[in-house]
A and B are shown apart, each in its own frame.
Chain A
Amino acid sequence: MNTLVIGFLIGGVFGAILYMGGATSYRRILGTLLLKDMWIIKLMCTAIGVGTLGIYLLDLGGLANLSIKPAYLGGVALGGIVFGIGWAVSGYCPGTCVVGAAEGKFDAIFTVLGGLVGAFLFALAFPVLDAMVLQPFNFGAVTLQDLIGINAVYLAIPFSLLLLAMAFFVLKDRYE
């Protein structure tokens, strides 16, 4: 099958999961960030736990098309801080605003439009930021197993179990 069709179908399921799982919900996102409602974080821990297990099982058979992002830590840290403020202010992330827009939520549509502007501003600022922030602390496409020097599976299995245990047993909602 054509990769464009595969992309569209995978995206369709992704969007459906985000909508049905309540990931486009403002009160859930802000509830998570205010450390009261653990729904979103439990959803993410489960997804990452299952995903880690799935990806490294695929990798054992040489079937995973991995895509490790480079650790240019200056950009990752600074970008994370800016992203976090945008997340708290809008109540969306780049994926959920697309799904929220599809639901017909006008605030999500404005977040998508803002996102297009933000990405364009980054493109304009890229030459300066690349030299000042991205290149200085670039450690390349490093994984935790590279750092520790053990086989990925021995790290992936405990990490996966830890996240699933967090989601199912540790994290609890706190409403007063």
Chain B
Amino acid sequence: MKENEAIISWKVAGLALGLLLTLATFLVKPLGVSTQFVVTDAIAVHAVAPEAAESNTYLSKYGSKDDWGVGYGWMLVAGMFAGGLITSRLLRAKQPQADKGSMPPMWAAVFGASRGKRFAAAFAGGVLLLFGARLAGGCTSGHMISGMSQLALSSFVFGLFTFGSAIAAAHLLYRKRG
């Protein structure tokens, strides 16, 4: 069963994540990711067409006249990329075979091994993820992990609807194979 484990157990990962959240809340503020997709869009749009970014009521919340740059939250997401990059290079040999690569065996068994199909689904899923996260005001990290840890009503509502919808969607996708 060793093959089915991860590099560290859920216990160690969960404890480390809880302590990291506490440290972040002490130093600056709780963890969050999805806002930074908007910040990235705002910076990109502002670079190409400044007036379009400044006149959009949502994008302009994330930049002011003289400052369309990156802040703490964006650096956190950049750090996530760096952390993933370094650990995956160092520890690749320890990662379970089933978790490697761009084509999950579970997906291929039901939907076929077409890379185009998997990537199209991953892209479409990404569109829905961030549209939904911005509508709800947060994602798994900001709403569920940080939000529930602060006992925020909105985060419990988010968790309920997200898990309900995701569980239903997953069962629909994999209805042929229980």
Contact B133–A67 (Cβ < 8 Å): no
Give A48 to B118 CA distance when docked, in angstroms. 32
Which chain B residue shows the least CB distance to A71? Answer: B154
What is the size, in residues, of chain A's interface with B at 8 Å between Cβ atoms?
A: 129
Give A71 to B156 CA distance when docked, in angstroms. 10
Give A131 to B50 CA distance when docked, in angstroms. 25
Q: Does B113 contact A (CB under 8 A)?
A: no
Chain B contact surface mostly = helix
Contact A8–B82 (Cβ < 8 Å): yes
Chain A contact surface mostly = helix
Closest chain A CB from B160 CB (angstroms): 7
Q: Indicate the size class of the contact surface on chain B.
A: 35 or more
Contact A19–B58 (Cβ < 8 Å): no
Contact A86–B126 (Cβ < 8 Å): yes
| 12 A–B contacts from the bound complex (CB under 8 Å) | A14-B17, A15-B85, A21-B8, A22-B96, A34-B170, A42-B10, A47-B18, A80-B158, A86-B130, A91-B107, A94-B33, A147-B153
Query: Besides the contacts A14-B79, A54-B21, A75-B135, what 15 more A-B pairs have beta carbons closer than 8 Å?
Result: A16-B83, A21-B8, A34-B167, A34-B178, A45-B14, A54-B25, A67-B30, A87-B162, A87-B169, A94-B140, A99-B80, A114-B130, A115-B127, A123-B134, A142-B154
Question: Which residues of chain A have a CB within 8 Å of any CB of chain B?
Answer: 3-28, 30, 33-35, 39-40, 42-55, 57-58, 63-73, 75-108, 110-124, 126-127, 129-130, 133-134, 139, 141-147, 152, 155-156, 159, 167-168, 176
